[in-house]
Amino acid sequence: MYTTRSHYTRANYEVNQTTLWKMLSDDQCEEIFMNAMEVLERTGAEVLCAEAREIFEKAGCWVDGNRVRIPSAMSEWATKVAPSRITLCNRNGKRALRVETTNAFYGPGEDNTYVIDPLTDERRKPVKADVATTGLLCDGLKNVDFVMSNGLPTDVKATMADVHAFEALVTNTVKPIVQSVQGVKQEWAIIDMAAAIAGSLKEFQKNPFMVLLIQTEGTLVHSDEALAKVILAAKNGVPFIYNTKLIAGDTAPVTPAGAIVVALADVLVGILLSQLVRQGAPVIGGGFFTIDDKQNGILPYGAPEVSLMGAGMANVLRYLRVPSFGFAGASDAKESDAQTGLELAFSILHAGLSGTSMIHGCGQLEYGLTGSLQMLVMGDEVMDMTRRIIKGVEVNEERMARGVIDAVQPGGNYLGEEHTLKYFRTEFWWPTLMNRCRIQDWTEAGEKTMGQRAKEKAQSIIKTHEPEKLSEDILAKIRTIVEKTEATLR
């Protein structure tokens, strides 16, 4: 029999362990990386932080006013010494997420201006109690891996919104948290709270359960505040995401390849600075892309280009062995309808298959303006389906079932076989929210739509789930940190 499989050795046996795909070839990834380095070396970036400029100049970069040009060798060095993997723990110190090149983890979003109340359906500004509810719901959803605020609270001092959001989340979930920070004082407060829970900063460094999200608005301009936060995180060994936001055709080239080049150049600035401050500092590269819909005057979150450019960025970062932070699970719809389901499923599957390490944004409606916990519950189901697809087809002697096929014989039935009993629960995906029942049973159950079932599940978890509580001693320490920080901020 002719076969292309080697009969001599399995040392180079090719295995598709998962169905992860590469949108860009290694040659294309290398070309994008080379062009990003050329941009930084020839054009440079505006660095508005004096301390960062001093660090860059001392390391051998060319500094002219605020413009910093980075030799390509330094960009290459930074990607090699930055960790290729970061392990995040839960609040109890148990290792939970291996953030590395082939794993994909999901979570909600946080930059929405409004929320839909999960009990009353009212669209309103988020308050601190909403953030606590988000933490509780995420704690009870098995496929949500990390937690974000689903909107910063508006019933607290604006300069303290991120600090209060972290307090609300960390007291209502044991899952890892991604927390954005407004400034260095707020960053210190959040680090102090994390250290208080872990026992010390050193213990937190060993078992981190929180990642700081540091945003740069892209366009090769890096603010004083953003880079000051990078320096603080790196000095203290705190994991952080350096995330750029770009609008193709507006703040970045209109072509996806050009937008990815600019995004990568932006991220490389943050990665290099962190490694110059502390070699091996845990950093994750992030990129959010959208387009400018001039006809409707919006920046869409459900457009296919969001997924397309996000997948390309993840491909390049995976090629460089840098963990990635991407976006999926949002919709431009105004409520949880058919459009929501289409955009939700498409983007979650796309981001998962592209191998993006951490994927945020699930539960955001109305091009990111509104957070919906009902939509997050729908996303939880899609995440589970996506993981079944990513799991792929495992090929081994027992699963190929030659002996079982021979025992059953042509025309036979496999239902009563031990092989079926052993594998049917793990090889098949079983829904918890999707409806597969007969129409008569569905009618008798009230003819509920997917949206109604998701809403009921969200309400049930909110009313019945009890997250693990922190001790009164730790809660007192957290309150003290919040109060002291609030006294120093206007």
Q: Identify whether the C-beta of residue 229 lies closer than 8 Å to the C-beta of residue 213.
A: no
Distance CA 23, CA 32 (A): 13
From residue 245, give the alpha-carbon distance in Å to each of 5, 241, 242: 46, 13, 10
> What tens digit of pLDDT does each residue of 224-275 get?
999 999 999 999 999 999 999 999 999 999 999 999 999 999 999 999 999 9
Supply the pLDDT for residue 270.
98
Q: Half-sphere exposure of 385 toward its Cβ, with a 13 Å CA cutoff?
A: 16
155-164, 199-208, 421-430: lowest mean pLDDT where? Answer: 421-430
Distance CA 213, CA 206 (A): 19
Distance CA 113, CA 440 (A): 42
Hey, what are 247's tokens? Answer: 């609008």
State which H helix or E strand residue 136 sits in: helix 128-140
pLDDT over 90 at 158, yes or no: yes
Percent of all residues in the chain with a pLDDT value above 70, rounded to a whole number: 96
Residue 439 — very low, low, confident or very high, per pLDDT cuts 50/70/90?
Answer: very high
Task: Please state the rounded mean pLDDT for residues 476-484.
Answer: 98
Q: What is the pTM of this model?
A: 0.93
Percent of all residues in the chain with a pLDDT value above 90, rounded to a whole number: 90
| Average of per-residue pLDDT values in the chain | 94
Supply the pLDDT for residue 321.
96
Supply the pLDDT for residue 19.
62
Hey, what are 122's tokens? Answer: 């009212």
Hey, what are 221's tokens? Answer: 């301009």
pLDDT over 50 at 10, yes or no: no
Supply the pLDDT for residue 7.
41
Q: Which amino acid is at 340?
A: T
Supply the pLDDT for residue 65.
98
Looking at mean pLDDT, say which of 73-77, 297-301, 437-441 comes out highest: 73-77
Is 422 exposed, middle or buried (CB count within 10 Å of its CB: 0-12, 13-18, 19+)? exposed
Residue 17 — very low, low, confident or very high, per pLDDT cuts 50/70/90?
Answer: low
From residue 49, give the alpha-carbon distance in Å to each of 65, 279, 285, 463: 11, 20, 20, 47
First vs last C-alpha separation in the chain:
79
> What tens digit of pLDDT does each residue of 354-400 get?
999 999 999 999 999 999 999 999 999 999 999 999 888 889 999 99
Domain ranges of the chain: 80-391, 397-427
Q: Which CATH superfamily is domain 80-391 in?
A: Trimethylamine methyltransferase-like (3.20.20.480)
Q: Which amino acid is at 312?
A: G
